[in-house]
Structure 1
Amino acid sequence: MQTTNNNKYPFFDLLEVVAEPDLKFRKLKSLHPVKAGNLVPEFKLNNDYSRWQQFYNGAETHGPISQRNLLNKPLVISFYSRHWGQQGLAQLKQLNNLQHEVKASGGNLLIISDERTEDLEKWAWEQSLTLNFYHDADKEIAQQFRVYSEDYPVWDRFSGIDENAPLLATYIIIEPSKQVIYSHIDWDFLGTFSAEDIISTVYESALISNSRRSA
């Protein structure tokens, strides 16, 4: 019941105020990405042809990729998403410059992308990329490495990005243990990974692996 008074605005009895239903509250969790020394036992690549995309000097190729050969050597894995804009493209360029040295040092290189787009094909051609991509549309691998979570959207930490995407992270993983021996995430955009560190880690790991096989 409304009570009259001399005030300009009406006054309502407290009993007439109906409380709003409690809103559902979802507590956001911080990302804790996999780091060097951790194991990623669930890591597995799908043989589905549509998930793979290869470029050689900018042109898309369609030859088969042998997972056995890919995983039989230290594998450099780098997560990429177009939503990171120029920062993501800069990382791809650095990886492209690095891929020959990775192979010469006894390793392999694979880019994990969260989607397959025509923009990537166009940019690969313009930059003459020679890289292998694996499209992780459901972000299963990104979640295994804990660089993506629906509970921790990246826009909560980084400005300028309006889609939840995997972090720009780079790892080196070895079989059969699926142990991570190198990890890098540029949390503050102060610079990408160290090419020298990646090459030396791949070389040393490949050397140890080859020694064990020949023993």
Structure 2
Amino acid sequence: MLVTASKYPTFDLSEIVTDNDLSYRAFQPLQPVKRGNFVPDFNLNNEYALWQRFSNGTETHGPVSVRQLLNKPLVISFYSKHWLNYGLQQLNLLNALQQEIKAHGGNLLILTAEKDEELTKIAWENNLSLNFYYDRNNVIAEQLRVYSDNDPVWNKFSGIDTNVPLLATYIINTSKQVVYDHIDTDFTGTFSGKDILSVVYESALLQNNKKSA
């Protein structure tokens, strides 16, 4: 007696994966931290390779003191070359403010997840005097909720195909509280330099008053 082979594939029921076994991650849209929020995990690393500093477009070298940076109100701003002219505009605006930020009692730091020769070229061509910190794997950007693998930036903006942090600028006081926030969502770069200087001054004054009390 001949046995006719089935033309349909057979399955072992034990090989079937039920929906409950599949990994599931609920969509969580970016919700950047705002003024008044605390960021207790915010910190910087003294590791020399994570820092790149420029003075009038020329790279400078020397020891880094994270403690001195964090002992004053700190203006931080996220930069990525993938924002093209919008990111460059933000760098130039901050570069124009950096001396006044120091004079008002604060510090300024640019965070980027990209460490390459292009940054050196940009600094030279734009005569930048800025300090850059390599935010490896976007750790700080995730802490401040301006970056997420779960809600890539191209969900919000067309014309960008790389997931990078939002164009965000913050001021963090010595208690690790956010006292200023600005996120450029319309590519105007119109954060107020006057507001930044005012918040830096007020935060530095409050800190000095606490020390003398």
In structure 2, what is the equivalent of residue 12 of structure 1?
Answer: none
Give how far 1:36 is off: 0.3
Tell me the equivalent position of 1:184: 182
Secondary structure at 1:138 match in 2: helix
Quick check: 1:70 aligned with 2:64? Answer: no
Map 1:7-18 → 2, pairs under 5 A: none
C-alpha contact (below 8 Å) 2:89/2:189 kept by paired residues:
no
Q: How does 1:1-215 map to 2 (within 5 A)?
A: 27-175=26-174, 177-215=175-213
Structure 2 gaps, min length 5: 1-16
Runs of at least 5 residues in structure 1 that lack an aligned partner in the other structure: 1-20
Q: Distance in 1 between matches of 2:71 and 2:168?
A: 22
TM-score, scaled relative to structure 1: 0.86
The 2-side partners of 1:28 and 1:118 are apart by: 35
Q: Which amino acid aligns with 1:29?
A: Q
Percent sequence identity over aligned pairs? 63
Secondary structure of 2:166's partner?
Answer: coil
**Distance in 2 of aligned mates of 1:208 and 1:157:** 37
Name the stretch that deviates more: 22-31 or 110-119.
22-31
**TM-score when scaled to structure 2?**
0.87
For 1:110 and 1:192, locate their aligned partners in 2 and report how far apart those are by CA, in whole Å.
Answer: 19
Tell me the distance in 1 between the aligned counterparts of 2:23 and 2:42: 34
Equivalents in 2 of 1:151, 1:107: separation in Å? 34
Q: Alignment partner of 1:183: what SS?
A: strand
| Residues paired across the two proteins, number | 195
Higher mean alpha-carbon deviation, 159-168 vs 187-196, is at 187-196
For 2:189 and 2:123, the matched residues in 1 are separated by 22
Query: Which secondary structure state, in structure 2, belongs to the residue aligned with residue 139 of structure 1?
Result: helix
